[in-house]
Structure 1
Amino acid sequence: MDTSIVADSSIINYYAPYKAKLEAAMNRIIGYAEGPITRNRNAPESLMGNFFADALLWKGKQLDQEVQASFATKDGIRADLHAGDITVGNIFEVMPFENAVCILTLSGGDMLRLADYMVKTGGQPVGGIELVIENGKAKEFLVEGKPIDPDAHYKLATYDYLANGGDYVTFFDKPIAREDYTQLLRETLMQYVSGITKQGKHVQAQLDGRIQIIK
């Protein structure tokens, strides 16, 4: 195809209203970021990872008040947010996939397997969790500020792709219980941003030491 091919005006006229409607929806502003919210695959935590995991934990607690933690992966987050206006289209860039929220009930032993995965991969986006890695091992692993009890059960918000074994996640293979929701991850992010905006606030993210690597 080259410039010698003339565009069919009847086709353009047909899809133009839909294109305009889509662009208007994607350009709708839902919030404002105080500063850049960025990824960093080489760091144990990142601004975007913390923002993403906190939004997931927020929604998890809405769906089930007993949810204690959230878990995502660095590779699942596909874009940064720039400082300034946040649009619907920006959220689609962050999470372009049709992944949906999933809440798992896990044994303490499986939570420790999750910690081992984070040790091996140099940290992953989590909420409600604190992990200190030293000499290639989990020195400290806390959920809601408390050490893991191998005999206890824990409720964790994640998404179906990971619950099904994506990104080499094997520790979700035998959950005590699993609840799948129709709530898409990007819907969660949009609601999270919109909720902050309705409170008259700007979206912020910070590094808080939830995952630390001590050489």
Structure 2
Amino acid sequence: MSCQQHPPTLFKIESKQIPITNRIKAVDSIDQFVKPYRNRIDEVLDSTLAYATATFSSKDGPLNTSAGNFMADIVISEAGPIFKKRTNNEIDFAILNRGGIRAEVSKGNVTARNMYQVMPFENTIVVVQLSAKSVRELIAFLIQAHQPHPMSGIQIKLDSKGSLYSVNIKGKPFDEDRSYFIATSNYLANGGDNMNFFKNNIGITETDYLLRNAMIDYISKMDTIIPLVDDRFVQAK
């Protein structure tokens, strides 16, 4: 009996916080080992992708903004072909969240580092199929929130009192008798930012495409990018 082995039991865990400050001196051997990798990363991140004619902001419009419009348009442009190839369907519209835009893109040269600042999260683009009823809930959410959540492919018009006047999707009136394919982030598709209507979906298609990478890929193909605030979500005066 004395030789019997018992499974180990956790008795106690101890920890302490070690603040990372400039008081910690760099170790030369480690610094020299990392240096070529760091230089290469800096070279890639700081290379110019395109030129912005003005600042892209998430605050330059009451219900749609230049930064939000730009991001949502990119989602359809870059993820659309992937979704089409995998499902033979097309994205109807895109919805993101305003809170996901974490920085402005200033006038001048735009770099990959800027895109990491705008979108620091590892969110991927997914396409959610929703019934007309769930799309109605989505529209009601946007109207109630009354915020410039990024959107593309859908146009919402409110009357002067803030009530719904019209909804068009891909240039056609909203159809109560069909389902729609909505591109968004995997975070929102799981009900993030109180977008619970996405939970009542018919199906979800993962594109395996990081939203940030889609932005970098799109801008890399451009020479110049121009901020735009338009009428995709507006209220009559």
TM-score surpassing 0.5?
Answer: yes
Whether the 8 Å CA contact 2:79–2:209 is kept in 1: the answer is no
What is residue 92 of structure 1 aligned with on the other side?
116
Q: Which amino acid aligns with 2:45?
A: M
**TM-align CA RMSD:** 1.9
Per the TM alignment, residue 207 of structure 1 is displaced from its structure 2 partner at its CA by: 1.2
- Distance in 1, matches of 2:139 and 2:97, equals 13
The reply on whether 1:116 has 2:140 as its aligned counterpart is: yes
Shift in alpha-carbon separation, 1:6–1:94, aligned structure 2, 3 A: closer
Per the TM alignment, residue 4 of structure 1 is displaced from its structure 2 partner at its CA by: 7.3
Per the TM alignment, residue 8 of structure 1 is displaced from its structure 2 partner at its CA by: 2.5
The unaligned stretches of length 5 or more in structure 1 are none
What is residue 166 of structure 1 aligned with on the other side?
192
Structure whose CA Rg is larger: 2
Shift in alpha-carbon separation, 1:188–1:6, aligned structure 2, 3 A: closer
Q: For 1:1-215, list aligned pairs within 5 A.
A: 6-40=25-59, 43-65=62-84, 66-123=90-147, 124-134=149-159, 135-197=161-223, 202-214=224-236
Identity of aligned residues (%): 28
- Distance in 1, matches of 2:211 and 2:55, equals 21
Further displaced range: 82-91 or 19-28: 19-28
Whether the 8 Å CA contact 1:41–1:74 is kept in 2: the answer is no
The unaligned stretches of length 5 or more in structure 2 are 1-19, 85-89
- Distance in 1, matches of 2:111 and 2:72, equals 19
1:175-213 deviation per Cα after TM superposition (whole angstroms, max 9, x unaligned): 11210121100110011111223xxxx111211111102
Report SS of the residue matched to 1:78.
Answer: coil
Q: Which amino acid aligns with 2:55?
A: P
Per the TM alignment, residue 50 of structure 1 is displaced from its structure 2 partner at its CA by: 0.5
Shift in alpha-carbon separation, 1:5–1:130, aligned structure 2, 3 A: closer
Runs of 4+, deviation exceeding 3 Å:
1-7
Q: Which amino acid aligns with 2:150?
A: P
- Distance in 2, matches of 1:5 and 1:207, equals 47
Q: Which amino acid aligns with 1:108?
A: A
